[in-house]
Structure 1
Amino acid sequence: MSDSVSDAASPSRRHLLGLGASLGLGLGAGLILPPGLRPARAQAPLPAIPEKDAVIAFGHVGPVTDEGWTWSHDQGMKAVQAAFPQAKTLFVESIPYSADAARTFRQFVSNGANLVFATSNYGDFFSDVAKRAKKVGFLECDGRTTADNLGWYYFAHWYPTYVLGVAAGLMSKTGKLGYVASFPVPSCFASTNAFLMGARTVKPEASVQVISINSWFDPQAATQAGVALANNGCDFLFGIMDEAGYLQVAQQRGLKAAMWNTDMRRFGPDAYVSSIVVDSRKFYVDQVGRRIAGTWTPGTTLLPMGGGVDRDAWGRTVPEAVARQADAVREKILGGYTPFVGEIRDSKGKVRVAAGKTMSDLDLYNWDWSIEGVTGLGA
């Protein structure tokens, strides 16, 4: 366990939330609680603590040098260090989904942590520790459990994913889209479904073939999955990986690809279309500030498009007309439009969302079935 971390090697041309002024993606946007989400029940906040006594802990699913998900959350920790220089920060990388996770979180508490972030879903390994440490605040990324001192947060990634789907539909010649998934979990269902729904607005015959590799970070497996999808005729690759394996396949095979977490274009400059990029810096600083001030209570937060998650700047080979058409959809969503309206059928043809019914953000967050046209993920 380390109480600080040196700057990881930052990939060139990082564009977290499209940080060019021309994009105007609203890094300064406030945190929004989407429709359907409500704060946890009213309760007394945890007491204030002097900044010099604050201990803030981060538990990561991967290495902070992955140039993806964990790297992004590590930037959030660095933002906390800059905002609260007297506070102490702890972090552990590559925590497994096992009893070792619970031991790590208990160690954070033993080391005096006042607020603990799990930057991935650890379920009971996390919540059981929270139950036994009532004076400590706990927040779980992609969590599903709340308690007096436990909340969760995540990113409404299905909206920018839908936008990338529009671009994919416009750029794909075959309509066969490939997706490298980790596990059959809601984040992957929401991602694959939103991607195809966007694509089908411009290419109605589009389909998505999924290969799951049972890992968030496995460059070799992601590369092999990318090769298999390319061999099956997919000419546009997407996924939810923490590294650039399948982007490199797309570059080598003359295909197009969209990524997750950060700007990875240097690994495939001709193939790169964009990424779903996440930025939790403001959220982490806000939460730590509240914990120190004595105003922190747990809640449920989805960081919205334009205020925590968005598309990256477009790749150099994306035609201007494609970018313009996809961005028109993005602007429409930012204005309040949602594309997730029934009728929506599942992969077996059953109507899951009736005609005219709108899926709430909680529905989208907990999506656990594939729509018609998505194969390989299950359900």
Structure 2
Amino acid sequence: MTSRMPRGRLLTPRRRMLGLAAGAAGSALLRPAPLRATAAPRLLPPVAEADALIAFGHTGPITDGGWTAAHNQGVLAVRQAFPRLRTVYVESIPYSADATRIFRQFVAEGAQMVIATSNYGDFIRDVSDRAPEVAFMECDGHTVTGNLGWHYITHWYASYIIGIAAGLMTRTNRIGFVGSFPIPSVYAGANAVLLGARAVNPAVSLQAISINAWFDPQAATQAGTALAENGCDFLCGIMDEPAYLRVAQQRGIKAAMWNTDMRQYGPDAYVSSVMLDFRAFYVEQVRRRLAGTWRAAPCFLPLGHGVDRDTWGSSVPPDIARQADAMRARILGGYNPFQGPIRDAAGRVRVPAGATMDDDHIYQWDWAVEGVSGLD
């Protein structure tokens, strides 16, 4: 994916201005600008299953073993749930005018629903505005209109849980993070890992290297190697392939992955993965579209329903797994671990004591927490 723009900042950078609002216990908490809603969502007419066409636009190849492969499992689930409808998809859609052309082609072919598995910003918005009878969904989007909604996974909770394991397993107190671009999804992942680690081991720090790609095994291998040579004995990141896991396997250190279960590429090094599962969500969205009950809306897929930590690797001690899973149980029960005070990398308090970062905050996180280096 080296030729593509990052998922979270696709067309025009959304470096949102932050203002002050009251947080918990009356504390002032930096608030992100509201995610845009430009029109009231409306119901679209029902569609018979045998007459329906659902189109998927993918950011990468369905064989990437990561992000797009996870979305493709959702496509397969839709086909199984609704065997009489038709599905079409296009892989590796570029972030250019070609994206607009492809989305227009979906509409021209008669699609009643178009699902983009990445943020295509104005490229998809221009098409949805001109096709009000078609339902559009955008993964990692930021705009809701009458017929365009967005969805995303709350991966920061799974990352926090994995961070607890990292904080307990590291011997050098140095975590390495292989990132793609300095965008909110990467900040949220790295920050959550370190905050989880520091909850059980305050001495831990995290060094990140951005490789300007979601899928570049050579660059990810180089980054993982550099981090290991700099003393990091636990690697994590947000890549669509397992290159740095192979580095960890070769060097006898540990690693946590993203998107899917990748333990086959480093069984001794594998700790866990931020696991994505869009199957139930996509089946439900299509069901609503067919029934005429679908409405454009923002949607976060919560922990346990679309995103979770993977089954622990064989090298994770049972007592460490129990400690990390105790936090998982608390989060599933409604607890939010992203509580102030939280300082940024320069030592400034960004989230004061008594305040909590909700999902809207974390979704637009664009600064590194104290102890994280290499992202800014």
Given the two structures, how large is their TM-score scaled by the length of structure 1?
A: 0.88
Partner SS state of residue 200, structure 2: coil
Partner SS state of residue 201, structure 1: helix
Partner SS state of residue 355, structure 2: coil
Q: Deviations over 1:227-270 (max 9, x none)?
A: 11111111100011111000000000111000001110000000
Letter in 2 for 1:154: Y
Q: Residue 287 of structure 2 corresponds to which residue in structure 1?
A: 289
Q: Is the CA contact 2:40–2:145 (under 8 Å) kept in the aligned structure 1?
A: no
Matches within 5 A, 1:1-379: 43-378=41-376
Superposed CA RMSD in Å reads: 1.6
Q: Is the CA contact 2:54–2:112 (under 8 Å) kept in the aligned structure 1?
A: yes
TM-aligned CA distance change 1:368 to 1:291, over 3 Å: same
Shift of 1:217: 1.2
Shift of 1:44: 3.2
d(CA) in 2 for partners of 1:83, 1:41? 31
Q: Is the CA contact 1:156–1:303 (under 8 Å) kept in the aligned structure 2?
A: yes
Shift of 1:318: 0.6
Shift of 1:38: 12
Q: Which runs of 5+ in 2 are unaligned?
A: 1-33
d(CA) in 2 for partners of 1:99, 1:41? 25
d(CA) in 1 for partners of 2:104, 2:195? 42
Q: Is the CA contact 2:168–2:201 (under 8 Å) kept in the aligned structure 1?
A: yes
Q: Deviations over 1:271-317 (max 9, x none)?
A: 00000001011110111111111111101111110111000000011
Shift of 1:160: 1.1
Runs of 4+ in 1 over 2 A off after TM superposition: 36-44
d(CA) in 2 for partners of 1:308, 1:376? 29
d(CA) in 2 for partners of 1:100, 1:37? 26
Letter in 2 for 1:79: A
Letter in 1 for 2:222: Q
TM-aligned CA distance change 1:185 to 1:197, over 3 Å: same
Q: Is the CA contact 2:271–2:316 (under 8 Å) kept in the aligned structure 1?
A: yes
Q: Is the CA contact 2:339–2:353 (under 8 Å) kept in the aligned structure 1?
A: yes
d(CA) in 2 for partners of 1:44, 1:375? 45
d(CA) in 2 for partners of 1:204, 1:87? 53
Letter in 2 for 1:215: A
TM-aligned CA distance change 1:329 to 1:186, over 3 Å: same
Q: Deviations over 1:199-223 (max 9, x none)?
A: 0011101111111111111111111
d(CA) in 2 for partners of 1:91, 1:41? 28
Partner SS state of residue 117, structure 1: strand
d(CA) in 2 for partners of 1:55, 1:285? 14
Shift of 1:39: 9.8
d(CA) in 1 for partners of 2:252, 2:308? 26
Letter in 2 for 1:343: P
Given the two structures, how large is their TM-score scaled by the length of structure 2?
A: 0.89
Q: Residue 3 of structure 1 corresponds to which residue in structure 2?
A: none
Of 36-45 and 54-63, more deviation after overlay is shown by: 36-45
